[in-house]
Amino acid sequence: MAALDLFGRRWTLRIVWELRDGPLGFRPLQQRCDGMSSSVLQQRLTELQDARLAERLPDGGYALTPLGHGARQALRPLTEWSQQWASALEDVPRAATEGHDGA
């Protein structure tokens, strides 16, 4: 449940996603996250560090730890599914989805 709570917080998954290819400094990470507020980014990075999923490097950048990379790998099926979902949504004419209440 702790993992679901952590990953359910807004921006957490996005930060993990943006760190997937290597370390980033605070400002570049903030820019990649569509300019989220610095206070929220700092809070999420602290939470990820406390969970041992991210670490602050000596140069001030942030990187995923081995546990963080493991979490990203565990989320890979969700990434693959989301790509299929996006493709399926592109195939549906917009008029067919308007007014749909999910019931």
Q: How far apart are CA 82 and CA 88, in angstroms?
A: 10
Angle between helices 76-91 and 66-74 (to 10 degrees): 40
Q: Checking phi first, is residue 44 left (phi over 0); if not, alpha (psi -120 to 50) or beta? A: alpha
Quickly count: other Cβ atoms within 10 Å of residue 32's Cβ.
Answer: 15
In the predicted model, is pLDDT for residue 19 greater than 80?
A: yes
Taken in order of first residue, the domains within the chain and their CATH numbers are 2-93 (1.10.10.10)
Are the C-beta atoms of 60 and 25 separated by less than 8 Å? yes
Cα torsion 5, 3, 75, 101 to 10°: value is: -20
pLDDT of residue 95: 56
In the predicted model, is pLDDT for residue 101 greater than 80?
A: no
In the predicted model, is pLDDT for residue 96 greater than 60?
A: no
The whole model's pTM is what?
0.79
CA distances from 33 to 37, 40, 41, 89, 99 (A): 9, 11, 9, 24, 31
pLDDT of residue 102: 53
